[in-house]
Structures are given as structure tokens and as C-alpha cells.
Amino acid sequence: MTDFSPQLVMFDLDGTLIDSMGGIAHAVNTVRSRYGGMPLSTGQIRGFVGNGGRRLMERALADLIPPPAIEPALAGMIEAYAAEPLHDTRLYPGVAEGLAQLARRGCLLAVVSNKPDPVGRLILEGLGVAAFFCEIIGAGRFPLKPAPDALLYLLEKYAVPRERAWFVGDHCTDLGAAAAAGVRGVFCRYGFGRRGDCPAPFAIDHFAELPPLLAQG
């Protein structure tokens, strides 16, 4: 019997939909300056990304003596980021067009990010693509990826079978979440994350490759 349920396509945010390293580095260095630290390069901060804001700030402040308390530092980073959410941040090529194409097909689109709320939503609204998504989930509502809780919530809420669902991301945490939720994972090689040893059933080098891939099933 043919399954007429819609496809559910869930996306990571940083390194998948948006090139945001400049904005992340700016927010982190804003906090470092408050504690007397010198700016870190964008390349250094790129290596700290992938496990949520808390781990990012722990890594980014580890060289300061004494290390600042993480809670106020994290709050400061979120405040700095929310004040300038679009600083040096842009959609990857093909994202706006690809999302529009998937939406026209009737796909349900959602974002599951470890980025602190409300920054992710502010960025997507500012870049003009927030309306494509039925849900934008950031840190705070569910355990961080690679925990599959947010993905499982979306599967249940929208009554989509696992075989009709995909998770698209650029980091091993995204692939781990996809595997744990029992959905197909797509690794974005163009992003700034790390695949590590996580299995990636599918991989793309450009966002424009995604709609044809999903059209296969």
C-alpha cells in the first residue's frame, strides 16, 4: 500500500542552513572581552562548536585565569548574540530555494538546534525563511543532540512514520540523533561540523542536492 503521509525533514541550523561562524565568534569574543580575555580566531571557536552553548563557553573560556563561572558567561553570550543575531551570518547557497521547493512538495520542515533560544528563531526570521518551518526548536525544550528527544517529539506530534523522516546536519551530534531516533541522516559536507565516526547513510556537498535526494523516497 502506498504511504501518503508527508515527509518530515528536520534540520540542524548552524553549519547546515546558515553559515554563522562569524556571528558565533563575535558573541563569544564579546564575553571574553568582559573578562579581560583576548579575542580568539574564528577557526579556534569553530573547533569548540557542536555540543551546545554551555560546552562552547566552557571551551572558549578555559584559558582564562581564573575561569569565569559558566552560567553568567553563557547568559552573556546569549544576550550578545540576541542583540546582533545576523552579525556576519547568512544562508548557505541554495537554502532558500531548496526550502521553498520542499515546502511546495508538501514536506513538513522543522529545525532542531543546540543553539540557545531565542537566537535561532531571530536569525531565521531575519533571513526570511522562518515561515517555512512548522517548528523551530532550540536548546532548553529537550535534551541536546545527540539525544533524540526533539526528533521523537516531532515524529509523534505530526504522526509521521520513521521511514518518512529525515534529519539533515553537519555534525556527529546530528547523525547520532538521527540514528537514535531511527530516521535517515544526511551529512552536510559543506558545513563546519565534524562527522567523526558516526554513520551517515547519505551526504551532500551543496544544499541544492537535498531536494532530489529526498524525492527518491
The predicted structure's pLDDT at residue 167: 98
Q: Could you count the other beta carbons within 10 Å of the beta carbon of residue 213?
A: 15
Q: Where are the domains of the chain?
A: 8-19+89-215, 21-83
140-179 burial code (b ≥16 CB/10 A, e <16): eebebbbebbbbbbbbeebebeeebbbbbbbbbbbbbbbb
Write the pLDDT tens digit of every residue in 47-105: 888 778 899 999 999 999 988 999 999 999 999 999 999 999 999 999 999 999 999 99
Q: What is the mean pLDDT of the chain?
A: 93
The predicted structure's pLDDT at residue 3: 55
Question: Do strands 135-139 and 165-169 pair parallel, antiparallel, or not at all (unpaired)?
Answer: unpaired
Alpha-carbon distance 215 to 195, whole Å?
24
The predicted structure's pLDDT at residue 1: 40
Fold (topology level) of 8-19+89-215: Rossmann fold (3.40.50)
The predicted structure's pLDDT at residue 59: 94
Beta carbons of 14 and 115 less than 8 angstroms apart: yes
**Is 90 exceeded by the pLDDT of residue 193?**
no
Q: Is 3 a catalytic residue?
A: no
The predicted structure's pLDDT at residue 151: 98
Orientation of helix 70-83 relative to helix 53-60, angle to 10° = 110
Q: What is the pTM of this model?
A: 0.93
Nearest to 170 by CA among 16, 13, 55: 16
Write the pLDDT tens digit of every residue in 115-138: 888 899 999 999 999 999 999 999
**Is 50 exceeded by the pLDDT of residue 212?**
yes
Question: Which one of the listed residues 12, 14, 170, 174 is annotated catalytic?
Answer: 12
Q: Could you count the other beta carbons within 10 Å of the beta carbon of residue 30?
A: 18
Beta carbons of 59 and 48 less than 8 angstroms apart: yes
